[in-house]
């Protein structure tokens, strides 16, 4: 990119930030606080619509009706193809925009209807017993970094001013199970292991992928709750990595500070700890206690204002303000589960399969020599096992049994 283009883009981003500050300057403290909640209400006098930040797109637009469903992340990782990963991310964001554009026509601002997607999961799949490992790109920090960056680029697009959608790298950090203990577990990690294993993917997503959001983890890391960790959120993410986007808590994780981690005593202390250390958006209800925390002197208004500035800037970059329309607002609903995307999903499935050697020419099966075939196992005809989690609704499902029958 030429130097004058860089200067021009920086000026355009500066305009967006100034617009965000101008709007926030007209808000009361209570209005600011409510904008830090995942289900932010409208401020009609400022032209700000209600918005629900919670949306999922781990391997396709999830939980919002029909969408093209791609293989789980662990399967996509088996393709070992960065360009292909960005192509998939682009298809997912196209469907996300198409859905959003239609939903806006009907004033539908419900959960799973926004443009801020809490994906990809770039945690390291270090223990095969971790029940959510299939959401990740595997155990290799390098591969996870490369695929995470390109999925983000596909999701967010390459416009220097506007975002196609906003991606989120999660869960920061040292979050790889045990799942049942995540709300009170303390992950003890050496500095060497932290920087060689758990942080590389997040660093790449921030510095190369320019990911808009980072989600904190439920657990503590070396004694600090991740969604309120000065070490993770301030020292490493902001100061060292240069992250400029917003930080969102995992859902109801801030309540864990006092309920399970016992690093604070009250909800007010937990909310203040999170905001003071750089958590901007609360998936949960802990930030409802920020007004009281302010009264008690636990948090100042400047910290709350800084959080809201980051949040409102994202919404402007996504084209949610009438004076800053999005270049993606004309994408049609016809792009949802279109043939092009379905074909891409089939190709992804083929490329994610690890083939075994066909020893002694076992395949193809000799139909004349076989009278019956048994398809066994709990997943042989299970739709639930087929789709995984964080999933959209496909128009057609084919289980292994159905495929063999066909």
The catalytic site residues sit at 250
Compute how many other C-beta atoms are within 10 angstroms of the C-beta atom of residue 71: 23
For residue 215, give the nearest of 239, 192, 232 by alpha carbon: 232
SS3 of 289-324: HHHHHHHCCCCCHHHHHHHHHHHHHHHHHCCCCCCC
For residue 59, give the nearest of 100, 120, 114, 133 by alpha carbon: 120
Question: DSSP letter string over 349-391?
Answer: HHHHPPPPP-GGG--S--GGG-S-----STTTT-HHHHH-SS-
Three-state DSSP at 234 gives helix
Q: How many helices (H) and strands (E) does the chain have?
A: 14, 8
| Rounded CA separation 143/81 (Å) | 10
Maximum distance among all Cα pairs of the chain, rounded to whole angstroms: 82
| Rounded CA separation 52/110 (Å) | 6
């Amino acid at each position: 990119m030429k130097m004058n283009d860089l200067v021009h883009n920086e000026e355009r981003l500066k305009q967006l930030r100034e617009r965000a500050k101008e709007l926030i300057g007209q808000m009361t403290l209570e209005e600011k606080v409510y904008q830090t909640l995942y289900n932010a209400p409208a401020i009609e006098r400022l032209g700000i619509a209600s918005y629900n930040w919670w949306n999922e797109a781990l391997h396709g637009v999830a939980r919002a009706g029909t969408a093209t469903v791609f293989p789980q992340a662990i399967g996509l990782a088996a393709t070992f193809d960065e360009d292909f990963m960005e192509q998939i991310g682009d298809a997912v964001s196209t469907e996300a925009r198409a859905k959003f554009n239609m939903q806006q026509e009907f004033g539908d601002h419900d959960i799973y209807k926004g443009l801020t997607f809490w994906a990809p999961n770039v945690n390291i799949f270090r223990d095969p017993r971790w029940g959510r490992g299939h959401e990740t790109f595997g155990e290799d920090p390098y591969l996870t970094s490369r695929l995470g960056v390109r999925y983000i680029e596909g999701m967010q697009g390459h416009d220097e001013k506007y975002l196609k959608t906003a991606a989120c790298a999660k869960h920061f950090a040292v979050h790889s199970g045990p799942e049942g203990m995540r709300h009170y577990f303390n992950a003890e990690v050496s500095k060497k292991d932290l920087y060689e294993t758990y942080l590389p993917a997040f660093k790449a997503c921030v510095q190369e992928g320019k990911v808009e959001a980072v989600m904190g983890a439920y657990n503590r890391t070396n004694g600090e709750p991740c969604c309120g960790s000065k070490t993770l959120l301030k020292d490493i993410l902001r100061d060292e990595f240069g992250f400029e986007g917003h930080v969102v808590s995992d859902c109801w994780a801030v309540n864990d500070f006092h309920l399970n981690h016992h690093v604070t005593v009250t909800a007010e202390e937990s909310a203040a700890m999170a905001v003071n250390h750089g958590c901007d958006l609360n998936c949960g209800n802990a930030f409802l206690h920020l007004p009281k925390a302010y009264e008690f002197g636990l948090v100042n208004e400047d910290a709350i204002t800084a959080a809201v500035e980051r949040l409102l800037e994202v919404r402007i970059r996504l084209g949610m303000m009438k004076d800053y329309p999005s270049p993606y607002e004309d994408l049609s609903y016809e792009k949802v589960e279109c043939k092009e995307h379905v074909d891409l999903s089939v190709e992804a499935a083929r490329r994610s399969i690890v083939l075994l050697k066909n020893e002694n020419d076992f395949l193809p099966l000799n139909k004349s020599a076989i009278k019956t075939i048994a398809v066994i196992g709990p997943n042989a005809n299970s739709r639930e096992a087929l789709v995984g989690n964080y999933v959209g609704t496909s128009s057609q499902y084919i289980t292994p049994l159905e495929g063999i029958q066909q």
